[in-house]
Structure 1
Amino acid sequence: MPAPDLQLLIDAALEAGKIATRFSGTTAQRWDKPDGAGPVTEADLAVNAMLEQMLPAARPGYGWLSEETEDSADRLSKDRVFIIDPIDGTRSFAEGSRTWAHSLAIAEQGEVTAAVIYLPLRNLLYAAAKGQGATLNTEKIRVSELGVLESAEVLAAKPNMQPQHWRQGQVPEFKRIYRPSLAYRMALVAQGRFDGMMTLRSSWEWDIAAGDLIIREALGRCSDRAGLPLRFNNAIPRLNGVIAAGSGVYGLLSEQLEPESPGIAP
C-alpha cells in the first residue's frame, strides 16, 4: 500500500523543485501573512497550486492539509490525507539560502505512512514508507546511536534552552546547532548527521509530518515534548512540540524536559 503513495510523493517533490528553483528567492514577490504567521512568496503559492492539482487528482479519496491552502473540515472525514508544506523555510528561501525544503506526507488514520523531504538546491531527497526504512537519494539511512548527552549535537533554536523548559530549571549540557527549516532538521537527524532535534513550541503538522516517519523508519524515536506519539490530521493541526533522536539521546532529553510548554519558543 505505501509504495505507490511514496512514488507519487517523490514525483511531486521533484516537480515542486523544478517550479521553486525558477524563482530567485531574493527577488520573488513576498507578502506577510496576517497575525504574524510569517512570510509567503510567489514560489510557495506556485508550488502549492501545482501540488493541489497533481496530488488530489491522483488520489481523489484523500483529504488535503497544506500551509498555503485555506483549511477545510472535509479532511477530517477522510481515512487518508495529504499533509503538505510547499516550502518549509520560506524566510531562508527569500534570503537566497539553500536550506529550504519541500515537505510532503500522507497520513492514514492519524499515522504517517509515506513521506518525502526534498531540498532541490542541495540535491537531497529523503524518503520513507511505513515498514520499508528511510533513504537519502535512494541509499538507506539511520539515526545516530550516541548515548551520551554531553557529547551530542542537537538541532534547536536558542529559546529552547531557557530554564523554564527543563525540570528544576536545570538546562542539560550538549552542543546546540540551528538550521532554519524544521523539516530539514528532522531529516538531518534521520540521516545521523546530528544526534537529535527539538522544538518546544506548538508546531504545525505540515512542518513535522514527513520528518516524523522518516526518523522512525531510520530507527529513531519521535514524539511530542510530553513523550506522546505524534498523531496527524487533527481538527486544529498543531502538535505539542517535537523531540526526535536515536533512542539513547531521546531518552536523556525527554526525561529532563518539562512536558508542558510554559511559553513559546521557536
Structure 2
Amino acid sequence: MLPVSVTIITYNEEKNIADCIRSVESIADEIIVLDSFSTDRTEEIARSFARVRFEKHAFDGHVQQKNRALTLCKNEWVLSLDADERLSPELAAEIAALDAAKIANEGISGFRMPRLTYHMGRAIRHGGWYPQRRYRLFKRSVAKWEGENPHDYIVIDETGKGATLKGDLIHYSFVDLSQQIDTINKFSSIVAFNRHEAGRPFQVMKTLIKPFGKFIEIYFFKAGFLDGFPGFTIAVASAFSTFLKFAKIFEIDRKYIERPSNLRADYRAQKKK
C-alpha cells in the first residue's frame, strides 16, 4: 500500500477531530495534527489515537499552516484534510488499493477527489458545491498550498501529472445556519483584511454588482435551485458573503477600524508574491 502521511490543521475542533481521524486510520502510515493552541478538548482527543503526532504552532493563515504541516511529514505522499472532512468508505478503499509502483511508472504526482458537502439536512449536489474535485492526495516534493486565505488549494508543479479518484470526500461544513453565518463573518474578515493589506481598495460598483452576480451564478447558472430551499439559502448566503468582503474593506479604508474585530490577534495578512 502507498505509504501516506495524513495532515489535519485544527483549532477548537473537539466535535470533529475524532471522526476525521477514524476515517483515515485504515490508510494512514502517520497522522499529523497541527493545532494552533486550541482551548477545548481537541488535543486530548487527538492524542488518544496511537497513530497521531500532535504538534502546535501559532496560526498565521490557512495556506501557511497547511504548508507548515507538510514539512512535518515523513512520507512523500500526503493526504491533507480539514477537521470537518471525512473519507467515505469508497474513497478510503480506493486509496488503500493504490499501487505505488504503478503510480511511479505513470508519473502521477497527485490525485483529485470529489467533495460532497452536507448542509441543512441534505447532500448539496448543485450550485457549484459538487463535485468540487480537489487535489488532496499528492507528492509533497512537487506540491504546495496556495490561494487567498481562507480559500486555499493545492498546486502541483509542471513536472507532475494528476489523476482523479471516484470516491467522495465527505464535508460537514456547518452544524446549522448559525454556524454558517459565523463562518461567513469570519472568512469575509480574513479576505477583506488581506485585500486591504495587498493594496486593493474599496470599489463602489463591485460592491453593488458582484453580490447580485454571485446569486445569479449559484442559483441559476449552477442550478442551485435543484437543491430546494437549502440551495436558495446557499445562493443568498454567498451573495451576502461577497457583499461583506467589500463592506469590510470600506471600513478599513476609511480608517474606522484597523482590522476586523473578529480576526484572531495572531493572524497576519498574506505577504505579496
Q: TM-score, normalised by structure 2?
A: 0.28
Q: Relative to total residues, which structure has the larger helix share, 1 or 2?
A: 2
Structure with bigger gyration radius: 2
Q: TM-score, normalised by structure 1?
A: 0.29
